[in-house]
Structure 1
Amino acid sequence: MAGLVITVAQQKGGAGKTTLAVNLAVALRARGRSVALLDTDPQGSLGRWFMARRDVLGDPGLDFSTSSAWGVSYECEKLKKIVDVVIIDTPPKVDSDLRPALREADLIVVPVAASHVDLWATEGVLDLARREGKRPKVVLNRVKRGTRLDAEVREAAEQLEADLVEASLAHRVVFAETLGQGLGVLEAPRRGPASAEIEALLDELLA
């Protein structure tokens, strides 16, 4: 797994990119992998999470770096020498600035909050990924299982030029709570269904 690069991308804001990035990082670390987070989003949500983590834990247990869109390749080259996995969080837009992060990726993960609007928003990311010769994996997020909307979105997602991941993340408050505390759901005081969802997602992504 040495030097694996995972890019989390989605042009629609609020799809859960940062939530997904930090929880994958924490889950990988729990499995004994060294992880670096690379924030290319000017909003800096990932950086704020990391600073909150330092305040809470002292030793964050993860490496962290920031980069402009065009500095991604250089930063990845450095980080891959010192960690097993680099996770890139990207800004909520799709243009040429996103291409370096897609180009560096061994795995592109596209979170989709369970709505048709979010699904439509994936088209730009999938198009850029296709131009880079990559086939992304789509992860349904904030799912309300058993609803007609969930079934409709899942069915529509299966038609995309991407691989729909079977594991999904439900709409759970604990994801937002732990994010604000600089933690992942696996580090919550009580491990519940959210932890199992992240573990199942990671298993499937790495398979």
Structure 2
Amino acid sequence: MILALLNQKGGVGKTTLATHIAGELARRGKTVILLDADPQGSALDWVQRRAQQGLARLFGAVGLPRETLHQEAPELARRADHLIIDGPPRIAALARSTLMAADRVLVPVQPSPFDFWASAEMVDLIREAQVFRPALRAAFAINRRVSTTVIGREAREALADQPLPALRAEVRQRIVFADSAAAGRLVHELIPDGAAAREISSLVDELLGWAA
């Protein structure tokens, strides 16, 4: 599976989800390559922090923020069970190249009206790509949900009007995700039996079923 995480809006938690999806797949015995297509290189920074602390490498990581990504990604994918692409925000040409490489696209959205409105540009790019690649499938993933807010509770209803489905699994706003980013670790490594680890596990379960 080549899974791309994309949203033209920044700050929606793409890198956190990408590293945790890759890490969870690796924990399950799969070979994984994480492709960082964001020029900021945040996913590679996370991998480097991990290496600096002497932690075991979970998966391969490659930086490839180029518009030729769709030509190079398939070769990388042949070396692993799963290729996870942490896509760029606000760079339409690079996003298009990522879409042409992917089998599945996950669009992380925070439960806020601004995020829902901003997702329209990403939806347009996906539908454009599906003209050339009809088998390409895409879905929203509700991320950083604050369950005590009204908009958090109504996020799924708000997404019902969108042309893409939303995964059932949701990831809530939790401090442990920020701690994991700073430490170069997975939430499972910090709090193995915690709610955050269970949410990531549920998300990966659903992704694997979706990819089958």
Q: TM-score, structure 2 length as denominator? A: 0.91
CA positional deviation for 1:191? 2.9
CA positional deviation for 1:81? 1.9
Structure 1 residue aligned with 2:165: 163
CA positional deviation for 1:97? 2.2
CA positional deviation for 1:184? 1.4
Structure 1 residue aligned with 2:53: 56
Does the 8 Å CA contact 2:67/2:93 hold for their aligned counterparts? no
Structure-1 separation of matches of 2:192 and 2:137: 36
Count matched residues: 204
Structure-2 separation of matches of 1:48 and 1:177: 14
What percentage of residue pairs aligned between the two structures are identical?
35
CA positional deviation for 1:74? 3.3
Structure 1 residue aligned with 2:180: 178
Q: How does 1:21-170 map to 2 (within 5 A)?
A: 21-133=18-130, 134-170=136-172
Helix, strand or coil at the partner of 2:43: helix
Q: Could you tell me which amino acid in structure 2 is paired with residue 13 of structure 1?
A: G
Structure 1 residue aligned with 2:133: none
Structure 1 residue aligned with 2:2: 5
CA positional deviation for 1:56? 2.3
Does the 8 Å CA contact 1:110/1:136 hold for their aligned counterparts? yes
Uncovered stretches (5+) of structure 2, i.e. residues with no partner: 131-135
Does the 8 Å CA contact 1:40/1:90 hold for their aligned counterparts? yes
Structure 2 residue aligned with 1:191: 193
Does the 8 Å CA contact 2:191/2:197 hold for their aligned counterparts? no
Does the 8 Å CA contact 1:139/1:164 hold for their aligned counterparts? yes
**Bigger shift: residues 172-181 or 153-162:** 153-162
Does the 8 Å CA contact 2:74/2:101 hold for their aligned counterparts? no
Does the 8 Å CA contact 2:174/2:196 hold for their aligned counterparts? yes
Does the 8 Å CA contact 1:119/1:153 hold for their aligned counterparts? no
Uncovered stretches (5+) of structure 1, i.e. residues with no partner: none
Question: Which 4+ stretches in 1 moved above 3 angstroms?
Answer: none
Structure-2 separation of matches of 1:67 and 1:91: 11
Alpha-carbon deviations, 1:65-121, whole Å to 9, x = none?
111332312331221121111111111115122111111111100111111101111
**Bigger shift: residues 119-128 or 71-80:** 71-80
Alpha-carbon deviations, 1:96-152, whole Å to 9, x = none?
221111111111001111111011111111111111113411011111225321233
How large is the RMSD of aligned CA atoms in angstroms?
A: 1.4
Structure-2 separation of matches of 1:58 and 1:201: 24
Helix, strand or coil at the partner of 1:70: coil
Does the 8 Å CA contact 1:50/1:182 hold for their aligned counterparts? yes
